[in-house]
Structure 1
Amino acid sequence: MNKVILMGRLTRDPEIRYSQGANSLAIARYSLAVNRSFKREGEPDADFFNCTAFGRNAEFAEKYLKQG
């Protein structure tokens, strides 16, 4: 498994859902905008990443992460 660390801003508040079954698991989805350190002509200023968090990380995201 690879580990990626991104620093940016949320484009919207995280959406949280719970899996079905006896042992439901929290799942949070959000989008992160990361500014580029360099820009070529005609390219966007930021890259956008769709992120998913599970379990306690998802509950943390719902409670503390807000758009902006």
Structure 2
Amino acid sequence: MNSLRNSVRLVGNLGLDPEVKVFDSNKKLAKLSLATSETYKNEKGEKITDTQWHNLVIWGAQAQIAGDLLKKGDEIAIEGRLNNRSYVDKDGNKKYTSEIVVNEFLKTSNRN
């Protein structure tokens, strides 16, 4: 049951091509933006689509695979964990962000 304490599973479409960074130690990081959408009808019977955007990070060998394999619009399924962190921006302001650290991903379809 411990593996369920901080577990995220999503299926959605990439908003941008993955951004892959390589650090001095040759460690790789891929940043991705994933959109998930739900469609429902409101009380007037109108179709409403609610889209949520999620920041994803992938480390190591999978980061390079994501950079080589994935493109904007691709549908992917991911499994990972939620991570909240803070940083100081270039103007000295403290910022907070939430991201999903991806353990596994699967490309489920190509972009349209």
Shorter-chain TM range is: 0.7 to 0.9
Instruction: Give unmatched runs, 5+ long, in structure 1.
Output: none
The count of residues paired between Structure 1 and Structure 2 equals: 65
Q: Which runs of no fewer than 5 residues in structure 2 stay unpaired? A: 74-112
Higher relative contact order (CA 8 A, sep 6+): 1
Pick one of 8, 12, 15 that aligns with 1:8: 12
Alpha-carbon RMSD:
2.2
Between Structure 1 and Structure 2, which shows a larger proportion of strand residues?
Answer: 2
- The partner residue of 1:28 within 27, 30, 33 is 30
Q: Percent identity?
A: 34
Residue 40 of structure 1, CA deviation = 6.1
Larger Rg: 2
| Alignment TM-score, normalising by the size of structure 2 | 0.50
Look up the match of 1:17.
21
Distance in 1, Cα, partners of 2:42 & 2:62: 35
